[in-house]
Amino acid sequence: MAKSSTDLHLADPAIDMSPWAGREDSEPDSLRWHQLVTPLKRDANPGVVLLGFASDAGVARNQGRVGAAEGPRALRRALAPLAWHRLAPVFDAGDVSCHANADLEAAQQRLAERTAALLAESHLPLILGGGHEVAFGSWSGLARHLEAQGEARPRVGIVNLDAHLDLRDPSQVRSSGTPFAQIAAECGRRGWPFRYACLGVSRASNTRALFARARELNVLVREDHEIDAPRLDAIVRDLQRFMARCDHLYLTVDLDVLPAAEAPGVSAPAARGVPLAMIETLIETVRDSGKLRLADIAELNPSFDIDGRTARAAARLIHQLTLDS
């Protein structure tokens, strides 16, 4: 019998809960994430749902250093010992896995199906990458959901915290460097507005062609050197104005937006980057907008993660993102 759309989030094999382990304190009110994250079941109360995207095929196609396919498990392990400060529940829905380079497009479609099913049940999906090819699958899931809801021309705002614009031409090779160009093309095909903000961009890591494409697409770009303490309030106001013109928000965080000292375990470490404290402020601004429908964390590469710094930074961002408002 074919599975219905609401069963798609249960379609993978049994969820591996082994990363959710850690210390247990005897004093009252001392719970940690590993004690309260539970496997997602049908008809669960709405909450945050962690869904892994175990893929680095897009990174390999983009000639980056591979290893991000192991990111979801490492991120769960980093989240496990964090103190619990939530009221609403958090669930683990397992992983969507990309088993080979040629499987990438099919894996992105599987991710889209799972994400749309979670949104249909009023959950907030939080996708754990995986390379930044996750973005096309994440956005496609939100698009499917909005179409199913009958929204004819939704204004979906993409907020990307990233050193890279990821607007490479996808006509030859689709990779971790092309997702937002792919999304722009899909918006054009559907007659939807393309609303994209990329904050933390490194001019040294993006060609003139990419900046020209961003201008053509009317992308809100703020470079890494612009995001500092004296100017952070102005950046936040820019972001708030962008969000005010959107109906829904999709937040995507490429961990290479952080300085290499804070995030060495990524596919392309940043020579400069934007400090974690400022990235937190931007994430909290999106979280508190009331419009966030979907988020993902990309490019955690445990193979190069000195002392687990990157996983810990990513876990901290997830912790802040999922605090109850």
Q: How do residues 99-116 score in pLDDT, each as one tens digit? A: 888 899 999 999 999 999
* For residues 172-195, average pLDDT: 97
Average pLDDT over residues 39-44: 93
Per-residue pLDDT band at 62 (split at 50, 70, 90): very high
| Alpha carbon distance 146, 140 (integer Å) | 10
What domains are there in the chain, each with its CATH number?
30-321 (3.40.800.10)
Question: So what's the pLDDT on residue 8?
Answer: 44
* Per-residue pLDDT at 155 exceeds 60: yes
The whole-number pLDDT of residue 13 equals 54
Q: What is the pLDDT of residue 10?
A: 43
Residue 2 has pLDDT above 50, yes or no: no
Q: Distance between CA 53 and CA 102 in Å, rounded? A: 16
Mean pLDDT of 53-80: 96
Looking at the whole model, is its pTM more than 0.85? yes
3-state secondary structure 211-275: HHHHHHCCCEEEEHHHCCHHHHHHHHHHHHHHHHCCCEEEEEEEHHHCECCCCCCCCCCECCCCC
